[in-house]
Amino acid sequence: MFRYQLIIFDWDGTLMDSLSRIVQCMQAAAQDLNIIPASAPAIENIVGLALGIAIRQLHPSLSDEKVELMRQRYSFHYIKAEAAPSPFFAGIPQMLRSLSQQGRLLSVATGKSRKGLSRVFGAHDVGALFHSSRCADETRSKPEPDMLLEILQLHNLSPAQAVMVGDTEYDLEMAARAKVDAVGVTWGAHDITRLRRHNPKVCVDRVEELSAWLHDDIA
């Protein structure tokens, strides 16, 4: 019997190696509007937040109209760049398929829009591995707990029956607020010091470590 019946993953920076593309597209969107682009570290810091919230955090002086225009330009550049899809981190597809074969329920809680997640599901042919998902345009943004609570309700599970895997403190704070255990991965946007602020069960440095930890999850 598995302790965690449901494993919920963040997407960008956790499963997919897309941070550099996010940075490039956010900077291109700013340049389109004659706005001084934010630095790469600043942009990496907001990965995982809903897009409008992320833009507002990067450029707090923008009007609502400019935020919306920048959101549109970012989406334009990202969709264009994704003609060559961002890759998974090495070992991620194998881990997901193995967990699925093990009979685990898999889900996604992401800052992407529903259209964006559907696009990458199709590009990588992995959508069938996931039993549910929640996106930033469907509920409140991380670090609010709503994504996780809605996923738990969908599967009729308690917080103790799920674990959240993510690369940012927004993922781990969301988990803590939903009373869901969490695993931090250090190959993404936020460093281990920030991840540990929210008391994850473990932080891992390699996909192999994550896979072993999840596969060995016996109650």
CA atoms of 121 and 129, how far apart (whole Å): 10
DSSP E strands, 167-209: 181-185, 202-204
Q: How far apart are the first and last CA of the chain?
A: 6
Cα–Cα–Cα angle for 67, 135, 217, nearest 5°? 140
- Listing DSSP states for 51-96 in one string gives HHHHHHHH-TT--HHHHHHHHHHHHHHHHHHTTSPPPBPTTHHHHH
User: Catalytic amino acids?
Assistant: 10, 12
Which residues lie closer than 8 Å to 199 by C-beta, 6 or more apart? 172, 176, 182
Of 205, 184, 209, which is closest to residue 195 (Cα–Cα)?
Answer: 184
**CA pair distance 32, 12, nearest whole angstrom:** 24
